Amino acid sequence: MDICKKIKETAIQSGMWQAGFINTRDLLFYPEIREICNGNSCRNYGKTWACPPATGTIDECKKRVMQYEKMLLLSIKYDLENPFDVEGMQNAMFSFKGSVDIFDEKLKVFLLDYLLLSNEGCRKCTKCTYPDAPCRFPEYLHHSIEGYGFNIYELAKAAKIKYNNGENTICLGPDYTRKGYGKQIVKGLIEYCRNTYGAKEFIYSTRKENKASNQLANAMGFKLVSSESKIDNRDGHMYYLLTYRYTL
């Protein structure tokens, strides 16, 4: 059997939902996406051997990837109870890591040389040895794909796999509010839109009663341009949706 076909089939047997190949010569590595890691909004920066700065500069990451002719992008779809289902998101994150480990075990049987990246840090040990001692399990260490500067939307498009599986949102759990993460995310989004898509304007909407979100808009210098009354489909109550604009 063709080796690419065999690798892809092995991915699906390991629990992956979709898998698609990309030629590495078509890959783009974005320093501004890597910069998001430096903001440490995920709290993994400088905490594990799987994340920057331990994984090296973006050029070192690129060199590592470019040793290979093809990249296989993997995805699994997890259903959440609602857009604020933080527990479901965390379970999905751990579950995906588990599937990557299964895939790794199966790959080892027939493939000698490959680089397997995973998602969001490394949770194998209760406390990572970084930076005081070498990784305890280097053979099971998978760098986080986030730190390689990839635009995942672009990768999904190139690999012909689905990126968006329905309505989605970004939310912060109660332990992460009032710590400036929202501002970092919005700043990162603005940079991303400007640098990746050449966006000229950033539109931001939030409910009037969401004080923190409106304070963030004001702190970022966004201009309030409209206030519309809306009906919440979930319980029928009326609310005001405020829309802000920011010229990039």
Choose between 130 and 192: whose C-beta lies nearer to ligand SF4.
130
Choose between 27 and 135: whose C-beta lies nearer to ligand SF4.
135
Least separation in angstroms between residue 121's CB and ligand SF4 is 8
Least separation in angstroms between residue 225's CB and ligand SF4 is 47
- Using CA atoms, how far apart are residues 10 and 154, in angstroms rounded to an integer? 24
Least separation in angstroms between residue 104's CB and ligand SF4 is 13
Choose between 124 and 183: whose C-beta lies nearer to ligand SF4.
124
* Residue corresponding to tokens 């209760």: 126
Choose between 48 and 151: whose C-beta lies nearer to ligand SF4.
48
Least separation in angstroms between residue 53's CB and ligand SF4 is 13
Least separation in angstroms between residue 47's CB and ligand SF4 is 9
**Contacts to ligand SF4 by CB under 6 A:** 48-50, 122, 124-125, 128-130, 135-137, 141
